Structure 1
């Protein structure tokens, strides 16, 4: 019987590299209602992968061993009985765990979305592009003319939120580290870029945007979250999309008034964004993101580091966690 390789979580551990390994699996024909897809690219979610390795993602129940990875783009090789919407040769994307870090994915047809071709841009749009749209518009409810602040603005998610907010007619405040990332965020439409390596985010926001942040999307936590909260506008929304600076999840002693005091008199709110819990709302987001890309209004930027094959997954995860990446991080599985 033919076999294929996949990255499997064999145990729980502190890091993805420590907990996962590459294994050989039997390659089978698709059952009724299934597709067999040869993956060509995988999208990398370093924080999610690390938390999965630690069994720390509350809404995903892990039974060991399990395969890993969420996002992949591939080409359909075979379809099971009863499948009518897909055919061999179709390019498809999946954003369902654990469809990503594997050479082949055999899964129900409902796990896949057909895309125009097998270019990696479609992977980024169908996964991170949809996440960006959901965070900004579904959860953040951003409107034209509002001030939108974004942390990690040069990252895979951030660089797409910057563009979507600018296209909506929002005033974008981008937070990122270093002159290269700052120039990148500015080129995407950010009106104000705060380089946290050379400027104080709390001081800049207090001086230039006091109580003016209508939407603030944070994936970092710590000082940046506090600064966003301190300067949220009346009826503003602080969207929590992650906590990259707090992967350990240890309790932090904070000597400050409860956030209720900062929210109540402004009628403001703090909202959690977990895209995996919003699958029913993905189709309109995907339609809008695809249309903007086809019209040439939205561009996808990839990190300059290239990662090849399943062994490259481990390096790609660590690249993301290092904070050095800019744009979307993917692994070439061809």
Structure 2
């Protein structure tokens, strides 16, 4: 067997992931006690995270250069070290540990991996982005059946799963996205009202049709969409902050406006930060729920249409996600 493999390594800090990293050769080692050696087949793309890592702008990750990159990967166990329990050679596994994604092989503790039924990339999406969507709604958002839920970036990798999970809880769903094609996609997932922010005012639509009516709102964009969600949060409503894509190009936007306390206090509402890495205890139950619903045909995983292959394809995939044109989950075939 070849004793080397290739991976994307961050070598400096720069404004883009492409500029900050390069493909390098790494030594392929056998697993030690409690480790497994995995051949990666697919990786999931997290373009905003990758860009912020390249800029050393992720507060909760201490980056020591050089470092390998990527988070999500699905692969096959090729060898097990002594003492490994629950995994065997030939098992399909998923990891969501940085830096496990953008590499051909990964030798790491068995605890970093979760066994999945087979090597279809759908399991990668469910075990990573799907878990994030479920935990954001159920744990941070305290979602209850029959509530009204608003979702920004509803056609994206996270958003299209948020819509389906909320629909399976018999919720009324408001999906925000840009363009007719994305709107039709989100409507087909079960959204009751789609707001095309390119042709409609999110604030006007919510203020007219859902005034003070959002029980749960999940925002990953920030800016005016966050403001519109906040203005229309319901009594005891929960606004979940899952990201701030609008702030990617610089420091967070500075605004001059009344503090949000009054908007929350008289409604008994709340703004809640969603950080998936702080909620790991809930991941197993989330996976079980998602896997069962997928097997039953209740949840569909949609992949972005362009097909990216190999580590070189990771760069184009990151650019694709950052372009705002992607629809569904962006993955790269590493096989």
**TM-score bucket of the superposed structures, by smaller chain:** over 0.9
Counterpart of 1:205 in structure 2 is 206
Counterpart of 1:326 in structure 2 is 327
Counterpart of 2:153 in structure 1 is 152
Counterpart of 1:143 in structure 2 is 144
Counterpart of 1:313 in structure 2 is 314
1:196-275 paired onto structure 2 within 5 Å: 196-275=197-276
1:1-334 paired onto structure 2 within 5 Å: 2-334=3-335
For residues 254 and 41 of structure 1, the distance between their equivalents in structure 2, rounded to whole angstroms, comes to: 41
**Secondary structure in structure 1 of the residue aligned to 2:222:** coil
**Secondary structure in structure 2 of the residue aligned to 1:266:** coil
**Secondary structure in structure 1 of the residue aligned to 2:144:** coil
Backbone CA RMSD of aligned residues: 0.8
For residues 32 and 254 of structure 2, the distance between their equivalents in structure 1, rounded to whole angstroms, comes to: 53
TM-score, with length taken from structure 2:
0.98
For residues 255 and 124 of structure 1, the distance between their equivalents in structure 2, rounded to whole angstroms, comes to: 39
Listed one character per residue, the Cα deviations across residues 154-205 of structure 1 (whole Å, up to 9, x for unaligned) are 0000000000001101100000000110000000010000011111100000
For residues 172 and 101 of structure 2, the distance between their equivalents in structure 1, rounded to whole angstroms, comes to: 35
**Secondary structure in structure 2 of the residue aligned to 1:181:** helix
**Secondary structure in structure 1 of the residue aligned to 2:60:** coil
**Secondary structure in structure 2 of the residue aligned to 1:52:** helix
CA contact (8 A) 2:304 2:328 kept: yes
Tell me how far 1:255 sits from its aligned partner.
Answer: 2.2
CA contact (8 A) 2:247 2:253 kept: no
For residues 41 and 260 of structure 2, the distance between their equivalents in structure 1, rounded to whole angstroms, comes to: 45
Tell me how far 1:251 sits from its aligned partner.
Answer: 4.3
**Secondary structure in structure 2 of the residue aligned to 1:160:** helix
CA contact (8 A) 2:156 2:329 kept: yes
Task: Please say which of residues 11-20 and 248-257 is displaced more in the overlay.
Answer: 248-257
For residues 8 and 183 of structure 1, the distance between their equivalents in structure 2, rounded to whole angstroms, comes to: 39
Change over 3 Å in CA distance of 1:251–1:301 after alignment to 2: closer
Tell me how far 1:280 sits from its aligned partner.
Answer: 2.2
Change over 3 Å in CA distance of 1:184–1:61 after alignment to 2: same
Q: What is the aligned residue count?
A: 334
Tell me how far 1:317 sits from its aligned partner.
Answer: 0.7
For residues 28 and 2 of structure 1, the distance between their equivalents in structure 2, rounded to whole angstroms, comes to: 7
Following TM superposition, where does structure 1 have runs of at least 4 consecutive aligned residues deviating by more than 4 angstroms? none
